[in-house]
Amino acid sequence: MAEATNAVGAHATTPAPSLSTVQLIEAYRTMVLARVVDERCMMLQRQGRIGFYVPMQGQEAAQVGSTLALRPEDWIFPAYRELAVALTRGIPLTLLLDQFFGNSGDVEKGRQMPNHYGYRRFNFVTASSPVGTQITHAVGAAMAAMMRKQSLVTVAFFGDGTTSSSDFHAGLNFAGVFQSPTVFICQNNQYAISLPRERQTRSATLAEKADAYGLPGVLVDGTDLPAVYRAVRDARERAIGGGGPTLIEAQVYRLGPHSTSDDPKRYRSDDELKEWKAKDPLARMKHDLLERNALTQEQDHELWETAKKEVASALSQTESLPPVDPLSMFDDVLAKRPTGLQEERDELSRFLREGALKP
Amino acid sequence: MTELTLVQAVNRALQQALRADPDVVLLGEDIGVNGGVFRATEGLIKEFGPERVIDTPLSETGIIGTAIGMALYGLKPIPEIQFQDFIYPAFDQIVSELAKFRYRSGGQYPCHVVIRAPYGGGVKGGLYHSQSAEAYFAHTAGLKVVIPSTPADAKGLLLSSIHDEDPVLFFEPKRIYRAVTGEVPDGDHRVPLGEAKVVREGSDVSVFAYGAMMPPSVKAAETLASEGIEAEVVDLRTLVPLDQTAVLGSVEKTGRAVIVHEAPKFCGYGAEIAALLAERALYSLKSPVVRVTGWDTPFPYALEHLYLPGVERITHAIRTAVRSS
């Protein structure tokens, strides 16, 4: 059976045994930064400055807590809602914003929608839109690391809806059979766009699905950062020690819409939202830090102001960059550009040169 | 040189690659202990062990997904899909992930996976053991598609695919896995990707084919020589990237074109060749392009002899092309 930690929303009765106060403050700072970035990006989309955005408000504790339990050599296979994972990993905010704007600073050269980023030097693999495909990639990479006798884990992040996908099944099944050092982190944010968790599966929990694959399944309150940290740390240690993969279900709530194209009022009640807003992981973290005298109201205010300044400054840096080079569209399709593609590139180049098309 | 069947040549290429590079791994259903249902991986688990010749659970999306993860990490995985007809559960992984990793990451994550799959009819395989699905993959940017027709090319093209940097779909004509034998160079024999091969020179008409359609195409050309028709037969070998120069050069010489494949006609690979000729070689053409293909039906079991293009239909098509001008 899945092992459950404390229930969602319940305040941890004991402080984290293995995260220092300094680490907790730093974790909270990252959560605040993620919240500020998230709110700012929703506005940027409404203003037409970026084309699309996928918010992650409500999932900060699950993301920061899990990533803190990883080491830089561990490979992260994210879905498209992992902003706080990226920030905890140390990926500079400007790089992320460059990707949202698809400008010349974007390492992906403006090819993907916002939120679909990846940075090889941070072992943070480029995300795609199909859900669940990254799960088997994480298993394959872990098998490769095992073959090379390298001591690290791979981590796949995904949501509750993904547990219905064939890749979830294939990935957990392969991981179980090959005992790959993989940690599967399912952030159950209660909705797959409009479909509530109860309609996604008849299973009582998502964590218990691990049973069928012969792996440990762990249910954790995803609004409780130290609890998430412990669950992932334990899973990582087990994997490194040859104990194979673990499925962790972190129960959270998506406070915002699925994306900027979604209106959650169509499928969930204000009362429900209100109930979950009371369990906002940021409020919980702040409360715990205040209780422990690790933070004052003034320091909290300062944290938010600093985050806002950091975001404003990163944003102005990003917006000062020129757009992406149009002809870069033809790069990276294959290692070398084949004849037909070169001809197409020449054709667009001609249109641009003659002014028939504007860059 | 060793006299080998096509499937033996595939086996030798895999053995060569596994010996040369510890990063090469094979994975797939029944490829290890059983040596593959067509015996393409016969004996390899014995030489290289179950860590490099991996028997996987029965899931194509699992096989290709884990292969992609291995490639991202730096290995050179060569997954086998037991029959190309069963590749569709992995279609998302191939088209959305494998084909796009290099592009979507801005070149950070090249993803070099060589997928082997036996394809094609003529083996009494019915709907689900006979298909030719190359066009789906040729249509997707970011993939290479390779189909050999001889033992030497099977080895040479497979080794080139393994030493390439891009994802390759390597489709093996199972109908001629054992039907043809030929001299195959020993060791690290490579045939470059992207180069078609003129297997029979001729001046009257160009016949473009690949895979299991090569033997009947050559036979048809030889038959017609007695009627005074000299057909040039071109084995395309690599469908993506297409050797445009070879195709255009041949038609500029002959002025006529017949395209042969066993996949259905509508939006089949032959349509791309016909379009290329219409765009670039129209004024060289003396007669309309003729396509000889499988019919636009699912692949039939009992009537496969009437479905697959054979010497008769190819001969007829060549005559039509020559006489209609």
- Per-residue pLDDT tens for B217-242? 999 999 999 999 999 999 999 999 99
pLDDT at A226: 96
State the residue range of the domain holding B252.
197-323
Closest-CA residue in chain A for B65?
A: A136
pLDDT digits (tens, 9 = 90+) for A12-62: 444 446 899 999 999 999 999 999 999 999 999 999 999 999 999 999 999
- Taking an 8 Å cut-off on Cβ atoms, the answer to whether B72 and A141 are in contact is yes
Domain segments of chain A as ranges: 3-323, 325-359
Statement to judge: residues B156 and B125 lie in one domain: yes
Q: What is the percent of chain A where pLDDT is above 70? A: 95
- Taking an 8 Å cut-off on Cβ atoms, the answer to whether B62 and A170 are in contact is yes
Closest-CA distance, B69 to chain A, in angstroms, reads 4
Active site residue A267: yes
Residue A129 with chain B: CB contacts under 8 Å? 96
pLDDT digits (tens, 9 = 90+) for A325-354: 999 999 999 999 999 999 999 999 999 999
- Taking an 8 Å cut-off on Cβ atoms, the answer to whether B65 and A111 are in contact is no
Statement to judge: residues B74 and B132 lie in one domain: yes
Contact A201, A167 (CB under 8 A): no
pLDDT at A5: 47
- Taking an 8 Å cut-off on Cβ atoms, the answer to whether B110 and A335 are in contact is yes
Contact B306, B291 (CB under 8 A): no
pLDDT digits (tens, 9 = 90+) for A125-137: 999 999 999 999 9
Statement to judge: residues B9 and B53 lie in one domain: yes
Distance CA A333, CA A212 (A): 39
- Which of B149, B184, B219 is the last residue before a domain boundary? B184
Q: What ipTM is given for this predicted complex?
A: 0.96
Closest-CA distance, B274 to chain A, in angstroms, reads 15
pLDDT at B77: 98
Residue A125 with chain B: CB contacts under 8 Å? 72, 109
Handedness of CA A122, A125, A128, A132 (dihedral sign): negative
Q: Return the C-alpha torsion angle A163, A167, A168, A170, nearest 10.
A: 140
Q: What is the CATH number of the domain that holds B13?
A: 3.40.50.970
Contacting residues for B122 by C-beta, under 8 A, at least 6 apart: B130, B175, B212, B304, B308
User: Which of B27, B103, B169 has the highest number of chain A CBs within 10 A, making it the mutation to test binding with A?
Assistant: B103
Residue that has been written with the tokens 């992207």 in this structure: B194
- CA distances to A160, A202, A218, B39 from A205, in Å: 10, 9, 10, 44
pLDDT at A148: 97
Statement to judge: residues B94 and B217 lie in one domain: no
Mean pLDDT, residues A51-75 taken together: 98
On the question of pLDDT at A3 being above 80, the answer is no
Which among A112, A331, A339 has the least Cβ separation from residue B244?
Answer: A339
Residue that has been written with the tokens 């297409």 in this structure: B242
Active site residue B261: no
Work out the angle at residue B52's Cα, subtended by the Cα atoms of residues B50 and B55, and round it to the nearest 5 degrees. Answer: 50
User: Minimal CA–CA distance to B104: which of A140, A99, A150, A16?
Assistant: A99
Which among B62, B101, B108 has the least Cβ separation from residue A174?
Answer: B62
Residue A339 with chain B: CB contacts under 8 Å? 241, 244-245
Which among B25, B62, B165 has the least Cβ separation from residue A173?
Answer: B62
Mean pLDDT estimate for chain A: 95
pLDDT digits (tens, 9 = 90+) for B44-63: 999 999 999 999 999 999 99
pLDDT digits (tens, 9 = 90+) for A172-208: 999 999 999 999 999 999 999 999 999 999 999 999 9
pLDDT at A17: 60
Residue B65 with chain A: CB contacts under 8 Å? 133, 135-137, 139-140, 167, 170-171
User: Minimal CA–CA distance to B154: which of B111, B118, B208, B121?
Assistant: B118
Question: Model confidence at A294, in pLDDT bands (50, 70, 90)?
Answer: very high
Which among B77, B106, B241 has the least Cβ separation from residue A332?
Answer: B106
Closest-CA distance, B84 to chain A, in angstroms, reads 19
On the question of pLDDT at B84 being above 80, the answer is yes
Distance CA B272, CA B136 (A): 12
Residue at B117 is within a domain: yes
Contact A215, A247 (CB under 8 A): yes
Structural domain count of chain B = 2
Q: Number of A to B CB contacts under 8 A, please give it.
A: 147
Statement to judge: residues B32 and B179 lie in one domain: yes
User: Minimal CA–CA distance to A28: which of A222, A281, A311?
Assistant: A281
- Taking an 8 Å cut-off on Cβ atoms, the answer to whether A137 and B69 are in contact is yes
Interface of B with A in 250-269 (CB under 8 A): none
- Taking an 8 Å cut-off on Cβ atoms, the answer to whether A107 and B51 are in contact is no
Statement to judge: residues B249 and B272 lie in one domain: yes
Distance CA B290, CA B258 (A): 5
The answer for A259, left when phi > 0, alpha when psi is -120 to 50, beta otherwise, is beta
- For the entire predicted model, the pTM comes to 0.96
Statement to judge: residues B178 and B71 lie in one domain: yes
Closest-CA residue in chain B for A165?
A: B61
Quote the distance between the C-alpha of residue A200 and its chain's center: 21
pLDDT digits (tens, 9 = 90+) for B283-311: 999 999 999 999 999 999 999 999 999 99
pLDDT digits (tens, 9 = 90+) for B175-218: 999 998 999 999 999 999 999 999 999 999 999 999 999 999 99
- Which of B159, B184, B209 is the last residue before a domain boundary? B184
Quote the distance between the C-alpha of residue B26 and its chain's center: 19
Statement to judge: residues B43 and B118 lie in one domain: yes
Mean pLDDT estimate for chain B: 98
Statement to judge: residues B130 and B9 lie in one domain: yes
Residue B110 with chain A: CB contacts under 8 Å? 335
pLDDT digits (tens, 9 = 90+) for B93-133: 999 999 999 999 999 999 999 999 999 999 999 999 999 99
Statement to judge: residues B174 and B240 lie in one domain: no
User: Minimal CA–CA distance to B209: which of B261, B267, B256, B169?
Assistant: B261
How does DSSP assign B39-64, residue by residue? STTTTHHHHH-TTTEEE--S-HHHHH
- Taking an 8 Å cut-off on Cβ atoms, the answer to whether B57 and A173 are in contact is yes
Statement to judge: residues B306 and B219 lie in one domain: yes
Distance CA A172, CA A186 (A): 12
- Which of B134, B155, B184 is the last residue before a domain boundary? B184
Mean pLDDT, residues B157-172 taken together: 98
Q: What is the CATH number of the domain that holds B295?
A: 3.40.50.920
- Taking an 8 Å cut-off on Cβ atoms, the answer to whether A333 and B102 are in contact is yes
Residue at B189 is within a domain: no
Does a cis peptide bond (omega within 30 degrees of 0) precede residue B241?
yes
* CATH architecture label of A3-323: 3-Layer(aba) Sandwich (3.40)
β-pairing, B2-5 with B181-184?
antiparallel
Statement to judge: residues B144 and B220 lie in one domain: no
Which among A75, A108, A140 has the least Cβ separation from residue B105?
Answer: A108
pLDDT at B324: 85
